[in-house]
Amino acid sequence: MLSRVAESVYWMNRYMERAENYSRFLDVNFQLSLDLNEDSNRQWMPLVYTTGDNELFSRKYNSPSKENVIHFMSLDTENPNSIMNCLIRARENARTIRENISTPMWEVINEFYLTIKSKKKFEESDMPGIAEFFKAIRNQCLLFYGCQEATISHDEVWHFALLGRLLERADKTTRILDMKYFILLPAREEVGSTLDLIQWLSLLKSASAHEMFNRFYTRITPKNIAEFLILDKIFPRAIRSCLSKAFDSLKILSGSEKDSYGDETEKRVGVLLSEMNYASIDEIFSSGMHEYLDQLQVRLNGIAAQLDETYFRN
């Protein structure tokens, strides 16, 4: 397949995944804010930190109010990562590779864009319907994945699509965990309090992981949650699971034999994956989870850069 097509299908999926993650972050935080009757500034700014776009936000807005943060992360076209921008870019990518995707896929992405494009700004009066709004976004993204899964051949195009989605997802899971760890980190006396518990729960919800977590764990503790979201083998948002599937796709793309590797990207993912296969959550906690997540983010970025080099730049 054309290198440019591979790159576009990869980014189309990264952007859709990002839009979905943002809508979930925002929704969960909104629900959380209803439970916690506290200063809204404290409640909403961490979200902006998590996305790494805090400098841009501070330059543009004078307060991290609910409306401002929601607007910034969903509709603000000056924010390169806003849901709106993700959608514009996903659609732009889809447009350049239309002949490689199915009509249903294109229709989902195009109709999604046309719907959200008409929304310009959030007002206080929009808040009663906001949960529905985020849900609609999530559903459109899920519809897109489903459509992709069911209507295009699982050939190279599909594997590049998967890689985009999985690498983005792994990255976002590290950020969700990090949000709790260093921004929502409660004061010592709050550990184990209702507030603490609600925050950890909302974190699980941010990863749509609440029900699945409950099926495998009996106690909601920071360690259990971190273990589930980092090291679980089969939960689709767990970092290890994402990497394991990405590794499978890379292996198919490079055509390498078992116990060997075909290119640098595959090697990097393979090395990271085996480290995770032999890691324990106790080790991660004792060496510092924030540091661990930081490292993970750096390595995921390295993998993405290597993928770009190997497949998109020849």
Partner 1 sequence: MLLTNYQTDSFYDEMFSEEGGIRQSYHILKSRIEGMDDKELLKRKASAEKALLSLGITFNVYGDEEEEERIMPFDIIPRIVTSFEWKKMEEGLKQRIRALNLFIQDIYGDEKIIKDGVIPAEIVYSSSGYLKECKGIKPPKGIWIHITGTDLVRDGDGQMLVLEDNLRCPSGVSYVLENREVMKKTFPELFASLSVRPIYDYPIRLRGMLEHLSDKPNPNIGVLTPGIYNSAYYEHSFLASRMGVPLVEGTDLTVRDDKLYMRTTKGLKQVDVLYRRIDDTFMDPKAFRKDSLLGVPGIFEVFKKGNVALANAPGTGVADDKVIYSYVPDFIKYYLGEDPIIPNVPTYLCSREKDLKYVCENIGNLVVKAANGAGGYGMIIGPVASEKEKEEFVEKVKADPRNYIAQPVLSLSRIPTLIEDKLEGRHVDLRPFILYGEEIYVMPGGLTRVALRRGSLVVNSSQGGGSKDTWVMG
Nearer to partner 1, 2 or 191 (CB): 2
| 75/152 Cα distance (integer angstroms) | 30
Contact between 112 and partner 1 by CB under 8 A: the answer reads no
CB 111 within 8 Å of CB 76: no
Contact between 294 and partner 1 by CB under 8 A: the answer reads no
Q: How far is the CB of 251 from partner 1 (least distance, A)?
A: 15
Contact between 303 and partner 1 by CB under 8 A: the answer reads no
Nearer to partner 1, 62 or 153 (CB): 153
CA 141 to chain centre: 12
Q: Hey, how many other C-beta atoms are within 10 angstroms of the C-beta on 272?
A: 22
Residue type, 307: L
Which of these segments, 17-25, 65-73, 94-102, 244-252, binds partner 1 (CB under 8 A)?
A: 94-102
Give the residue from 89, 73, 79 showing the smallest Cα distance to 23: 73
Give the residue from 93, 132, 131, 84 showing the smallest Cα distance to 112: 84
Nearer to partner 1, 1 or 271 (CB): 1
Q: How far is the CB of 1 from partner 1 (least distance, A)?
A: 6
Which of 31, 56, 88, 92 is close enough to bind partner 1 by CB under 8 A? 92
Which residues, numbered 127-156, are part of the site for partner 1 (CB under 8 A)? 156
Which residues, numbered 246-275, are part of the site for partner 1 (CB under 8 A)? 253
| 303/270 Cα distance (integer angstroms) | 11
**Is residue 68 classed as helix, strand or coil in its secondary structure?**
helix
The CA R_g of the chain, rounded to the nearest whole Å, is: 20
Which of 99, 211, 257, 259 is close enough to bind partner 1 by CB under 8 A? 99
Torsion over CA: 261, 266, 268, 271 (sign): negative
Nearer to partner 1, 35 or 155 (CB): 155
- Chain residues that interact with partner 1, rule: CB under 8 A: 1-6, 92, 95-100, 103, 106-107, 110-111, 114, 156, 160, 253, 311, 314
